[in-house]
Structure 1
Amino acid sequence: MNLLLVEDDPMLADAICDGVRQHSWNIDHVADAVAAKAALVDHAYAAVLLDIGLPGESGLSVLKAMRRRYDATPVIILTARGQLSERIRGLDSGADDYVVKPFQFDELLARVRAVSRRSQGRVLPALCFRDVKLDPAKRLVTRAGQRVALSAHEYRTLLALMERPGQVITRDTLEDAVYGADSSIESNTIAVFIHQLRRKLGEDIVITVHGHGYMIGEAER
């Protein structure tokens, strides 16, 4: 299991990371929202342990950015704020669970296992166009039954298009889906991802609608 910990308290972060690694799990640690968003764009995690009270941007901004770009990775919020209103805000923003500091480490691991099981058990419909199939539950893309290796950026670009078959998606919308609304990227980045998708899946898989954006054809039923 590969986890991401977003926590600005170095002593607590060290304790959590040490405990997780003793259970033979992998864990990456970042201390602020900006680093968390970058890590989540570049890597896939089984779950995220997210502190709300980060320096600068709140941890909730990380969570909201994930959900805006259709990242369904389970999130457990870690916070010293035990008020009901704070728990509700976190859950309404898309968190899967909530642990109030101080907590027992064994309980944290049990909650990670629980949200991971629930995530694996979600029934998400596969998306199809011609012989291309995208399975969100497994994060798997195939063409004519053969697995196609996509980068995280390419996968999110394809997912955003296939979730809206027959609709023109603007470049700005695709940028938000891939990077989140807070990111600033070069103007041709999405075009590069589209080029890579065409190379791997077929030249006519994505249609360019000049002056407007991109689209994929109607999904097969």
Structure 2
Amino acid sequence: MSIGTEGAAVLLVEDDALLRRAISRALQEVHAEVTAVGTGLEALEVVGPGPDCDFSAVILDIGLPDADGRDVCAAVRARGITTPVLFLTARGQVDDRLSGFTAGGDDYLPKPFDTRELLVRTGALVRRAGSTPPREVTAVRLDPVNLRLLASPGGQDQSLTPTEYRVLAPLMNAPGQALRRRALAVAGWSAGAMVTDNVLDQYISRIRRKVEAASAGTSAIHTVHGVGYRFE
């Protein structure tokens, strides 16, 4: 019986070399095409600048040596990439799972796991992504080519700086979800940049004004105390 992985291009991001090889072999046995890397930086290089992506699904370990997988996912979403992401992690508490979904993940599988379940979950994500038309989540839209926020009726288009675009994109890709400050900082700035809360708040303030102008007040960025920000 087909599980949906036949011909699917899957990106596997797992730092454990033995586990990475085992998962790769299992995926290849169900006729998936696998690209396997071991770090968050390699993953971001492979997926490209977006918004187009050559992968049908991403299997992403949270505990990477160079980054938190949730921040890697948020950075991928910031590029406008909507490819389904399945998190792998040894941390299976409810808060850990919720933070993964908040970062833009689509599914979550705690370690240790049965490889058969991983394959079935991956196939389900591939099928779902292939059969579901893109959903318009808000009247305002992002133009990743020209770095503009396209207005809804009654609003005005707004130009965005590259950093403003990278911070706003994950918020708009996860409407109604509170995104962590850290995830937004990782999405907006290059690795190693020192981004204080004050700097992020200043950017959010400017972005908030542009969102309100583009949407004629129908969309907004809300502060979620103790967490970060939410787009609605």
- What TM-score range do you get, normalising by the shorter chain? 0.5 to 0.7
Equivalenced residue count is 159
Counterpart for residue 50 of structure 1: 60
Distance in 1 between the 2:96 and 2:122 partners? 20
**Closer, same or farther: CA 69–164 of 1 in aligned 2, 3 Å:** farther
Deviation at 1:108, TM superposition (A): 0.8
Deviation at 1:163, TM superposition (A): 4.9
Distance in 2 between the 1:157 and 1:68 partners? 10
Deviation at 1:102, TM superposition (A): 1.3
Which ranges in structure 2 are unaligned for 5 or more consecutive residues? 1-7, 137-142, 170-185, 192-232
**Closer, same or farther: CA 161–121 of 1 in aligned 2, 3 Å:** farther
Deviation at 1:19, TM superposition (A): 1.1
Aligned AA for 1:170? Answer: T
Counterpart for residue 35 of structure 2: 28
Residues 71-126 of structure 1: CA distance to partner in whole angstroms, max 9, x if unpaired? Answer: 11100001111111111111111110001111111111111111122222333268
Distance in 2 between the 1:125 and 1:90 partners? 21
**Closer, same or farther: CA 164–29 of 1 in aligned 2, 3 Å:** farther
3-state SS, counterpart of residue 158 of structure 1: coil
**Which among 130, 133, 147 is matched to residue 120 of structure 1?**
130
**Closer, same or farther: CA 24–175 of 1 in aligned 2, 3 Å:** same
Deviation at 1:64, TM superposition (A): 0.8
> TM-score, normalised to structure 2's length?
0.59
Deviation at 1:174, TM superposition (A): 5.0
What is the aligned-residue identity percentage? Answer: 34
Counterpart for residue 90 of structure 2: 80
> TM-score, normalised to structure 1's length?
0.62
1:59 paired with 2:66, answer: no
Aligned AA for 1:25? Answer: A
Counterpart for residue 157 of structure 1: 144
**Closer, same or farther: CA 101–157 of 1 in aligned 2, 3 Å:** same
**Which among 89, 100, 118 is matched to residue 99 of structure 2?**
89
3-state SS, counterpart of residue 80 of structure 2: coil
Distance in 1 between the 2:79 and 2:95 partners? 25
Deviation at 1:56, TM superposition (A): 2.4
Could you say what the CA RMSD is over the residues aligned between the two structures, in angstroms?
Answer: 3.1
Tell me, yes or no, if the aligned pair for 2:149 and 2:158 is still in contact at 8 Å.
Answer: no
**Closer, same or farther: CA 98–169 of 1 in aligned 2, 3 Å:** same
Which ranges in structure 1 are unaligned for 5 or more consecutive residues? 127-155, 185-221
Deviation at 1:157, TM superposition (A): 3.1
Counterpart for residue 153 of structure 1: none
Counterpart for residue 20 of structure 2: 13
3-state SS, counterpart of residue 144 of structure 2: helix
Distance in 1 between the 2:103 and 2:115 partners? 25
Aligned AA for 2:73? Answer: L
